[in-house]
């Protein structure tokens, strides 16, 4: 993995951590949201399609699906996964909150900030490569 890819990995991890903070108020994680998003766009989907579309590990998706089923976010009918009423009502607000945060993060970063971020990322990479 080259340095740019490593920088992107660090930034992506930070972004996910921030989005997880927002999703906590809905008792969800970013992985939960990824599964819900696939089901939202492909209601009545198979578990195999959720695995393919979300790019998450099948074991993780099965665990997430069980938890979402217990929380009422999804329902399973004839081996097809559908959004539950809870997810249907919350999804628009969750999506709005996440988009708002992504937009806010993008607007707050200046050119100088990006230079500083790159320097810090390089220091982190150097530290973890030792």
| C-alpha to C-alpha distance for 127 and 130, rounded to whole angstroms | 6
How sure is the predictor about 110, in pLDDT bands with cuts at 50, 70 and 90?
low
Question: What percent of the chain stands above pLDDT 70?
Answer: 94
Q: How confident is the model at residue 24 (pLDDT cuts 50, 70, 90)?
A: very high
Structural domain boundaries enclosing 21 = 3-129
Q: Write down how long the chain is.
A: 130
- The rounded distance, in Å, linking the Cα atoms of 122 and 89 is 42
Average pLDDT, the chain: 86
CATH code of residue 16: 1.10.10.10
Looking at the structure of the chain, the number of domains it has is 1
pTM of the model: 0.74
What pLDDT, on a 0 to 100 scale, did the predictor assign at position 85? 93
**pLDDT (tens digit, 9 = 90+) per residue, 73-107?**
999 999 899 999 999 999 999 989 988 887 887 77
43-47: average pLDDT = 90
Contact criterion met (CB below 8 Å) for 58 and 51: yes
Mean pLDDT of 25-53: 91
């Amino acid at each position: 993995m080259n340095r740019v890819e490593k920088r992107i990995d660090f930034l992506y991890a930070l972004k996910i951590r921030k989005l997880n903070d927002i999703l906590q108020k809905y008792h969800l994680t970013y992985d939960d949201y990824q599964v819900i998003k696939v089901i939202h766009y492909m209601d009545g989907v198979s578990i195999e399609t959720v695995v393919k579309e979300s790019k998450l590990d099948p074991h993780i998706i099965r665990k997430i699906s069980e938890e979402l089923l217990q929380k009422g976010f999804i329902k399973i009918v004839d081996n097809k996964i559908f959004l539950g009423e809870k997810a249907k009502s919350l999804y628009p607000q969750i999506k709005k909150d996440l988009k708002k945060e992504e937009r806010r993060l993008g607007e707050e970063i200046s050119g100088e900030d990006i230079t500083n971020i790159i320097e810090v990322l390089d220091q982190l990479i150097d530290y973890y490569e030792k």
